[in-house]
Amino acid sequence: MIVHSSNLAIIRCQIIAIIKIAPGVHRPRTIGYELSTADSTIFAALIAMLREKILVIGASGQIGVELTLALRKIYGSANVVASDLREQNELLQGTGPYVSLDVMNKEMLHVQVIRQNITQIYLLAAILSATGEKNPHLAWHLNMQGLLNVLDIAKEEKLSKVYWPSSIAVFGPTSPKQNCPQQTIIEPITVYGISKYAGEFWCNYFFNKYGVDVRSLRYPGLISYKSAPGGGTTDYAVEIFHDALEQKHYDCFLQKETYLPMMYMPDAIRATIELMEAPSKNITTRTSYNIAAMSFSPEEIAAAIKKHIPEFSISYAPDYRQAIANSWPQSIDDSVARHDWGWKPEFDLSRMTTDMLENLKLAES
């Protein structure tokens, strides 16, 4: 599409369409368009999207791989630069640009943002709950300094948007266990939760003080078949599928009745993109939004898997992660996200279990 002139009411543009006139024979055809009022608003949004160049930091991780692939479908492969400290995940290879980057090296990060003409950053690099408890100082340092580096650069380079995920780990034992609301008592007891809660207020601060359009979601435990989880307390809900298929047995590190809020990755990716594409005026929460999809216990997910694999069995050997899980809510109230930008999950436990097993079997064959 070539835009010749535009103002708030009218956009004059040409769309070059590639028309198939016979099998294997294609001809370009140019169509002139003059769009007015309502159409032009939609087009203006589309044009703005075409101008975006996105940097995903932590792109080789559990969320990063799938988010990068989804963003490339929307914004075009060349406009989404994947980056990570470790090497490129094999699922990203050949799908778009990749740079090796340490978010802690602010100067190099700044150089990349300028060199690549970056307009938006998705910051996913972090140390998660279980790994964080083994090395609290490192978790605090990476989770805080990485965020501050990105926010400073976003402010200086006037980036259009920043995405940074928080977690249900911000909640602690004094928060309500059921339907934990957006605003409530928040006293996290893990270093991961402390870093996420502090991070939420840094986001809020940079929005209010400097106008940085930073948006955030408090993800629950995320379940995916594409990339492996990175050291969280909810990782059992991914491992159980792999072990069910490979060994017909899973030894769970949480007790059987431990309920936790969870979400299937396609819902999490859609939530992230919907939040980022929502009009700024709709975003009333500049700390981080509660979002929810389902809550289940190890016993319940095992029963859901047993419907597909009758010989599957589970045993329980709780470890240090049980105390972390016990400190979190069992279910989350996400009514503010539903109201502000229309959040609605699609996957429940049964639908997710079917989809996970089908896709893991396909990957094996």
Q: What is the set of active-site residues? A: 192
Chain residues 129-158 in contact with ligand NAD, contact rule CB under 6 A: 142
Interaction between residue 180 and ligand NAD (CB under 6 A): no
From candidates 104, 198, 303, 323, binder to ligand NAD by CB under 6 A: 104
From candidates 221, 261, 298, 345, binder to ligand NAD by CB under 6 A: 221
Residue 220 · residue 261 · CB < 8 Å: yes
Question: What separation in angstroms does the CA of 258 have from each of 123, 145, 237, 268, 331?
Answer: 30, 33, 12, 22, 11
From candidates 40, 43, 60, 289, binder to ligand NAD by CB under 6 A: 60
Compute and round to an integer the Cα radius of gyration of the chain: 22
Interaction between residue 86 and ligand NAD (CB under 6 A): yes
Interaction between residue 55 and ligand NAD (CB under 6 A): no
* CA 48 centroid distance within chain: 22
Comparing CB distances to ligand NAD, the nearer of 75 and 220 is 220
DSSP states of 174-209 = TS-SSSB-SSS-----SHHHHHHHHHHHHHHHHHHH
How many of the other CB atoms lie within 10 Å of CB of 268?
Answer: 25
Interaction between residue 195 and ligand NAD (CB under 6 A): no
Comparing CB distances to ligand NAD, the nearer of 10 and 104 is 104
CB of 66 to ligand NAD, least distance (A): 9
Question: What separation in angstroms does the CA of 262 have from each of 82, 218, 245, 256, 266?
Answer: 26, 11, 21, 15, 12
Q: For the CA atoms of 8, 52, 211, 58, what is the dihedral angle to 10 degrees?
A: 160
Interaction between residue 126 and ligand NAD (CB under 6 A): yes
From candidates 11, 55, 57, 356, binder to ligand NAD by CB under 6 A: 57
CA dist 315 and 219 (Å) reads: 27
Interaction between residue 64 and ligand NAD (CB under 6 A): yes
Comparing CB distances to ligand NAD, the nearer of 40 and 143 is 143
From candidates 219, 250, 341, 343, binder to ligand NAD by CB under 6 A: 219
24: left (phi > 0), else alpha (psi -120 to 50), else beta? left
Which one of the spans 17-25, 41-49, 78-86, 319-327 is the region binding ligand NAD (CB under 6 A)? 78-86
Comparing CB distances to ligand NAD, the nearer of 229 and 298 is 229
Comparing CB distances to ligand NAD, the nearer of 40 and 234 is 234
CA dist 113 and 156 (Å) reads: 11
DSSP states of 257-297 = T--EEEEEHHHHHHHHHHHHHS-GGG---SS-EE---EEE-
From candidates 103, 244, 245, 292, binder to ligand NAD by CB under 6 A: 103
Which one of the spans 32-40, 125-133, 152-160, 273-281 is the region binding ligand NAD (CB under 6 A)? 125-133
**Residue number with the shortest CB distance to ligand NAD?**
61
The residues pairing with 11 across neighbouring beta strands, listed in sequence order, are 6, 35
At 172 the three-state DSSP class reads coil
From candidates 52, 56, 61, 254, binder to ligand NAD by CB under 6 A: 61
Q: Which DSSP letter does residue 89 get? A: P
Interaction between residue 285 and ligand NAD (CB under 6 A): no
Interaction between residue 324 and ligand NAD (CB under 6 A): no
Interface residues toward ligand NAD, by CB under 6 A: 57-58, 60-64, 84-86, 101-104, 124-126, 128, 142, 165, 167, 219, 221-222, 229-230, 232, 234
